[in-house]
Amino acid sequence: MTSLLEVSGATVRKGERALLEDVSLRVAPGDFVAVVGPNGAGKTTLMRVALGLQRPDAGRVTLNGRDVGALSPRERAAFLAWLPQRVQVSEPITAQEHVAAARYRFTESHRRSEEAALVALARVQAEPLASRPITELSGGEQQRVAVAALLAQEAPLVLLDEPANFLDPAQQLELYALVGQMWRSGLGVLCITHDINVLAHAMHAGSEGRIRVLGLSKGRVAFESHYDAPDLGEHLGRVFSVRMRGVEVENRRVFVGMSLERGE
Amino acid sequence: MRTRLVVMLAVCALVIAVAPFIGPPMPPDARDFILWQLRIPRTLMALVVGGTLSLVGAVYQSLFSNPLAAPSTIGTTAGATLGALVAIVLGARTALWGLPLITGAAFVGALGVSLLVAAIAAGRNVRMNDLVLAGIAFSMAAGAISTGVQFSADSAELLTAMRWTMGHLPQVGYQNIVMLLPIAAVSVVGLLTLTRALEVFISGEEHAESQGVNVRAVRMASIGLGALGVAGCVAWCGPIAFVELIVPHIVRRVLGVSRRVLLPCSVVVGASFLVLCDAVARIIFPGKETPVGLVTAALGTPLLIYLVARKSS
């Protein structure tokens, strides 16, 4: 099967420093890939490279087999939709208008965009927010609307950049439940996070093994594993410079970090 | 929302229809001349200029995500002033193909400076704030040269220059409109085709790019087409202040921020706003024509202060 997104040997330098060094990654339809790592590990750079917002100094990025730099923004938008950490809306546009704007890649009437926006809002149970200015919504509601925009773009691969960073625990749970829904509906998901445990909310029974985890550290791929791999805790611990142990809570595996000094 | 739109458009239509009849009473024998050769062409000119300036203001505010962005932000006005001053000092009473040399020089100056800024905007990793800075730098440079030019001018030339920089609408006939209209039309129609892309810009440039907008192309088209329209308006009417700043804010307040409404309505509201200001200019000091730029500034300054005060509170 061809990959939707394939990053091979991507290197990005900023002056002397390598923000990203020889990173490779593939996402096929229906894949869930989590990219984890501490702040400054290169997660955001990797995301920008995947989106075509930044050209790698070496290596190659392809979407559906074609070089990302050779694609027009519209062609890229047809493959890849992006959910930023939070919506940076500068003006009080309504939720429906915001979602309708995400249909830019389609050549269609505005009426059609608005209808599609309502459908997308309904899929995330945010229909009542449709005519509310987005700037007046809570952080959780805003991300819900942002997910609707993501769906409205109708791309087969979604790229999530720490989407729950600014949310409280209930909102995080809600958001990752939506991410799980998108994944089950067949989308490829590339999710960047420094908190591995939020992924538990996106899972359904038996799906742990299908979540691939890619650890980044200092711009390099530190490990590649699966969510149910027995040694994932050790890998994570090394990347985050703590001791990490996986524990079962209500049939879900979560990871707890402990300081290195007091170790055995 | 729909009701508001209808009311706003009705008010605009009313203003435009009534404006030519506002002014000092017309003697019966000169009525036809005053109406058809003076007031109606002036009203038409105000329509074209007010609509174009307001749309460019709305587009720049969207593009720069800055409520205070205006054609002057990217140096258009300063360039026009420089061009006009040079022409005035060179003793330009002459015309070229029926085009007054002052107008031509102002147009070249306005377009020249804005295209320099647009060329910077074409760069790959340029941030919008850098563009604003570049615009300010070019404005200051053009302003300094203008001061130098003024230094070498005599008092009659200085008076002409001062009048020009106040902003005015040409006095007689239809010829000016015929020349300005195609320029303004290209600018307005071209900018309106960018509406959908500018709507996506509301959620940030990079997000817009990820949703399929060619950000560099939209940026260059907006600045280029905007500069063209403004250069035309400034060339014929001088720098008429504040229209491009106030009108989009009024529309935004009343009808919301969706670019689909904001941009076309800015054209209509801007057109009738300048028509109204022109009518006010005819009657505010009886027996004297007040430059319309003074009226727009007098109406615009309080509003701008109000907006800034509201924003900071």
Q: Does B129 touch chain A (CB under 8 A)?
A: no
Instruction: Give the number of A-B residue pairs with CB atoms closer than 8 Å.
Output: 77
Chain B: give the shortest CA distance to residue A127, in Å. Answer: 19
Q: Would you say B149 and B86 are in contact if contact means Cβ atoms under 8 Å apart?
A: yes
Tell me whether residues B210 and A53 touch, CB distance under 8 A. Answer: yes
Q: Is residue B191 part of a domain?
A: yes
pLDDT of the residue at A1 = 55
B1 interfaces chain A, CB cutoff of 8 Å: no
Question: Whole-number mean pLDDT of chain B?
Answer: 86
Which of A186-195, B88-97, B204-213, B248-257 is predicted least confidently?
Answer: B88-97
Q: Residue B203 and residue A51: Cβ atoms within 8 Å? A: no
In this complex, the residue of B196, B207, B257 whose CB is nearest that of residue A91 is B257
B213 interface with A at CB cutoff 8 Å: yes
To test the contact with chain A by mutation, choose from B61, B195, B211 the residue with the greatest count of A C-beta atoms within 10 A, namely: B211
Planar angle of CA B94, B98, B103, nearest 5 degrees: 65
Q: How far is A106 from chain B (nearest CA, A)?
A: 9
Measured in angstroms, the CA of B256 and the nearest CA of chain A are apart by 7
Q: What pTM does this model have?
A: 0.90
| Subunit contact A93:B211, Cβ cutoff 8 A | no
pLDDT confidence bin for B307, thresholds 50/70/90: low
- The whole-number pLDDT of residue B153 equals 83
Q: Is residue B25 part of a domain?
A: no
B237, with CB counted inside 10 A (0-12, 13-18, 19+), is buried
CATH of the domain at B77: 1.10.3470.10
B256 touches chain A (CB under 8 A): yes
Mean pLDDT of the B161-181 span: 83
Confidence of residue B68 (pLDDT cuts 50, 70, 90): confident
Give buried/exposed letters for B116-133 (b at 16+ CB in 10 A, else e).
bbbebbeeeeeeeeebbe
Residue range A110-127: average pLDDT?
A: 95
Domain membership of residue B174 (yes or no) is yes
Q: Which of A190-199, B3-12, B294-303 has the lowest mean pLDDT?
A: B294-303
Q: Give the pLDDT score at A183.
A: 93
C-alpha distance across the termini of chain A, in Å: 46
Asked whether the beta carbons of A44 and A161 are under 8 A apart, the reply is yes
Q: What is the pLDDT of residues A156-205, one digit of tens each?
A: 999 999 888 888 888 888 899 999 999 999 999 999 998 888 888 888 77
Task: Provide Rg for chain A, Cα atoms.
Answer: 19
Percent of chain A with pLDDT over 70: 98
Residue in chain B closest to A158 (alpha carbons) equals B210
Name beta bridge partners: A193: A36
Q: Quick one: tokens of A68?
A: 């990302």
ipTM: 0.90
Q: What gap in Å lies between CA B202 and CA B62, rounded to an integer?
A: 7
Q: Using one digit for the tens of pLDDT, what is the confidence trace for B240-273?
A: 878 988 899 888 888 889 999 999 999 999 999 9
> ∠ CA A93-A97-A98 to the nearest 5 degrees?
75
Helix (H) or strand (E) holding B38: none
| Yes or no, beta carbons of B202 and A91 under 8 Å apart | yes
What length does chain B have? Answer: 313
Boundaries of domain holding B69 = 2-18+34-312
Contact check, Cβ <8 Å, B209/A93:
no
What's the rounded mean pLDDT across residues B72-95? 80
Task: Name the pLDDT band for B97 (thresholds 50, 70, 90).
Answer: low
A124 pLDDT band (50/70/90 cuts)?
very high
A97 and B212 within 8 Å at the Cβ level: the answer is no
Among residues of chain B, what percentage have pLDDT more than 90?
A: 32
Asked if A88 lies within 8 A of B210 by C-beta distance, the reply is: no
Q: Which residues of A touch B257 (CB under 8 A)?
A: 91-93
pLDDT mean over B181-188: 95
Q: Does B212 touch chain A (CB under 8 A)?
A: yes
A77, A89, A153: residue with CB nearest B202: A89
CB contact B311 to A (< 8 Å): no
Q: Do B215 and A92 touch (CB under 8 A)?
A: no
For every residue of B234-281, DSSP letters joined together read: HHHH----SHHHHHHHHHHHHH-S-HHHHHHHHHHHHHHHHHHHHHHH
**Chain A CB within 8 Å of residue B257 CB:** yes
Distance (Å) from the C-alpha of residue A54 to the closest C-alpha of chain B? Answer: 10
The most confident of the ranges A86-90, A204-208, B22-26 is B22-26
Please state the domain count of chain B.
1
Which of A76, A84, A93 is the closest to B257 by Cβ? A93
Residues of A in contact with B258 (CB under 8 A): 93-94, 97
**Which residue on chain A is closest to B211 by alpha carbon?**
A77
On whether residue B238 sits in a domain, the answer given is: yes
Query: Where do the domains of chain A lie, and which CATH numbers do they carry?
Result: 5-92+155-258 (3.40.50.300)
Please give the pLDDT value at position A164. Answer: 86
A87·B65 Cβ contact <8 A:
no
Read off the DSSP letter of residue A34.
Answer: E
B200 at the A interface (CB within 8 A)? yes
User: What span, in angstroms and rounded, lies between the C-alpha atoms of A260 and A238?
Assistant: 10
CB B160 within 8 A of CB B88: yes
Which residues in chain B have Cβ-Cβ distances shorter than 8 Å to A91? 202, 252, 257
Chain B residue numbers with beta carbons less than 8 Å from the beta carbon of A50 are none
* CB of B65 less than 8 A from some CB of A: yes
Q: 3-state class of A25 per DSSP?
A: strand
The Cα A8–Cα B130 span in angstroms is: 33
Q: For A102, which of B65, B204, B211 is closest by C-beta distance?
A: B211
How close is the nearest chain A Cα to the Cα of B214, in Å?
A: 6
How many Å lie between the alpha carbon of A22 and the closest alpha carbon of chain B?
Answer: 23
Is the C-alpha dihedral spanning B268, B270, B272, B275 positive or negative?
negative
Q: Is residue B27 part of a domain?
A: no
Which of A225-239, B126-140, B245-259, B261-275 is predicted with the least confidence, judged by mean pLDDT?
B126-140
Which residue in A has a C-alpha nearest to residue B217's C-alpha? A73
B90 Cβ contact partners less than 8 Å away, ≥ 6 residues apart:
B101
B29 within a domain of the structure (yes/no): no
**Mean pLDDT for all residues in chain A:** 90
Mean pLDDT of A53-75: 93
